[in-house]
Structure 1
């Protein structure tokens, strides 16, 4: 059993990471923004004692020293998993709402661990395919993306719109983390996970149909009939199931050989058209779904970049969930909150 600090415990990914950590027998303290979120997580785990699941309140991760107290524990932490970072495009100030929380939150956490938690031997950070992807290159059929790639986005480009701001926030925060390790040489090593779009079942006690994570909103929109006349563009096409991603985070803590590495955590490709087909085939009770002849949401005719996920499979032993299973389980989970 390892004592682990998990940041952002009420988030979509973190909630699954928490379930996986508990399943593996670890002892977890998770940060949340307020006591209400802690109470909802606690109520969902009535049989888990306080010594195996506890909470630290961190109202604003973008404030200097935000994690100073959270990283102190008795018994002391041996690892930290940092998932807390904003992912949404409903912003009015890119710097204050996207860049600062991601960059200051990440570097602030690393500084707090170095200063106040000398027992920590590994920090795992959730980054993103956004820190790998070269957006202006588009679908780039001749390219194979891997952990060697970095998004070349500049600060000037980041401030142009929320989409750029999000991609930059993940890129700048991850670069800052690796720079910190190189410069400060702390007594812990770093592992970074880079997932693309994350699909899969919601944790129902933390969600409602109106408050879904951004990536799952597309499936809600499909079953609510918003795709009936035209399927929207897919976006970046690479994806991963949230349960596989949670397992990857836990293995990144548990396996010594993961240390010092980035992991491009993708199952491969999906399209919105494929999502619509899966929902229509498995859930005929939804009457306003797009028919098979409805246009939009397909793969680009000119081709698409490729992905290399060999590292996550060889080092962590990951076997990926199929898109069909992921979408079916997601829709079933949405039904538990009224879809």
Structure 2
């Protein structure tokens, strides 16, 4: 794969930080969009000092990506865009998450239409855009990249996870509508990422029981509870998810496609709890014991990853090795 010049959003987040590291290591030139130079530049310039000095990594401040024309100047010299950033907030979900997600996408597409150099846009979508949660999890069906959630705007206002799901689903549908009607010179790849586990290299990372995602789900549903709670079963290590993003830069990867993927073994909270108690005896007072007579997991749905498997290969990191990295982070950052 030749070296690309990539515009990256969300490079200071958990997934984005791993994508940035892999882009740099593979020789790509990166323009990283960050919300605050004051907050993030010192860490990134220290982490990637030689790349910043050589011009391989450029840091550009965009405080509000929802502002029209926010990307117009930034895309003029890039040939690919990896859009990872997802706005999240605790209130006013319509404005801060749903509308904002759509506005950022629209700004990226509008800018790219005026930038002949752009050949591909890669968007971090979500596996939840293929499901109606939680009902789909408990049905004996197979979900594929051809499926879409039917969540409504009204349902999306009920909670943060619902707002995230609706924002991801509705903005993706709009993106495909744009591609169909506009027929731009660039193509689109949407990566329907599962819940993400593993080691976080994000600046200022701290474990949280209220955040979204696979890392937080382990912390919330396995630690300091009487019985393990239900965790989203389809997961992948953060480094593997990042790798799929970087591989998607290769134009040999078919464009104008959705790709659905996860590591081969669905994650079960009781299984996580059992493994933690076995390998981390110091945590037995915080992680509940699970008896051999425990009820079978209620999750029945299966996910068809055959298209992604053909295109991106593998193998992917073992689910427990990835979960262990999350546990290690929890132990490390709680201190």
TM over 0.5: yes
Distance 1:279 1:314 in 2: 33
Partner of 1:135: 133
Displacement of 1:260 in angstroms is 1.4
Partner of 2:59: 55
- CA separation of 1:56 and 1:296: change in aligned 2, threshold 3 A: farther
Secondary structure of 1:253's match?
coil
Distance 1:149 1:183 in 2: 21
Distance 2:195 2:105 in 1: 21
Partner of 2:270: 273
Q: Is the 8 A contact 2:193 2:241 kept in 1?
A: yes
- CA separation of 1:160 and 1:222: change in aligned 2, threshold 3 A: closer
- CA separation of 1:46 and 1:222: change in aligned 2, threshold 3 A: farther
Equivalent residues in 2 for 1:1-339, closer than 5 Å: 1-35=3-37, 36-50=39-53, 51-72=55-76, 76-87=77-88, 91-115=90-114, 117-135=115-133, 137-203=135-201, 205-209=203-207, 214-215=212-213, 216-221=215-220, 225-227=223-225, 229-234=226-231, 236-268=232-264, 269-293=266-290, 300-301=297-298, 303-339=299-335
- CA separation of 1:187 and 1:263: change in aligned 2, threshold 3 A: same
Q: Is the 8 A contact 2:13 2:202 kept in 1?
A: no
**Following superposition, which runs of at least 4 residues in structure 1 exceed 4 angstroms of deviation?**
210-213, 294-299
- Structure 1 portions without partners, runs of 5+: none
Displacement of 1:294 in angstroms is 6.5
Displacement of 1:140 in angstroms is 4.1
Q: Is the 8 A contact 2:209 2:219 kept in 1?
A: no
TM normalised by structure 1 equals: 0.89
Q: Is the 8 A contact 1:271 1:298 kept in 2?
A: no
Distance 2:59 2:209 in 1: 22
The number of equivalent residue pairs is 329
Distance 1:294 1:70 in 2: 56
Displacement of 1:312 in angstroms is 1.1
Displacement of 1:337 in angstroms is 3.0
- Structure 2 portions without partners, runs of 5+: none
